[in-house]
Amino acid sequence: MTDFEAVAKQFVTFYYDTFDKNRADLSALYKDHSMLTFEAQPTQGTGAIIEKLASLPFAKIQHRVDSLDAQPSNETGGILVMVTGALLIDEEQRAMMYSQTFQLQPDGAGSYFIFNDVFRLVYPA
């Protein structure tokens, strides 16, 4: 069995590193039937998701992961990944707490893509 914990940790590291460097590069992780629900707003498809992420009103951002947990989630090799952490925006001192849940699915080529991505700020300060 795939080591889903290692996959989850690698994924989360890669996801936030990429997000913090160049959000547009995240397109590799989504597919056309992927769905992002960002602060209750649904977006579907790689193009629309990347557009949504690019439109977020901040220039510099840094994610800090505080907690990560993962469980195998379905019969098709999916992994449920849940992260809580802090967003440090545009060098503001005060962090914003967030919670993000990913449903990862194997892409059939030895890698994973994001099927569902639900993001919420849970403490905006």
- Assess 56 for contact with another protein (CB under 8 A): no
- Assess 41 for contact with another protein (CB under 8 A): yes
Alpha carbon distance 6, 121 (integer Å): 26
Kindly state the smallest distance separating residue 110's Cβ from another protein, in Å.
18
Nearer CB in complex with another protein: 39/90: 39
Q: What residues contact 119, with CB distance under 8 A and at least 6 apart?
A: 36, 37, 38, 39, 98, 99, 100
Q: Count of alpha carbons within 13 Å of 40, Cβ hemisphere only?
A: 2
| One residue of 23, 35, 61, 62 binding another protein per CB under 8 A | 35
Do 97 and 123 form a contact (C-beta atoms < 8 A)? Answer: yes
- Assess 76 for contact with another protein (CB under 8 A): yes
Q: Which helix (H) or strand (E) holds 20?
A: helix 4-21
Residues that bind another protein in the complex, under the rule CB under 8 A = 5, 8-9, 12, 35, 37, 39-44, 65-76, 78, 80, 82, 84-86, 95, 97, 99, 101, 103, 105, 115-116, 118, 120-125
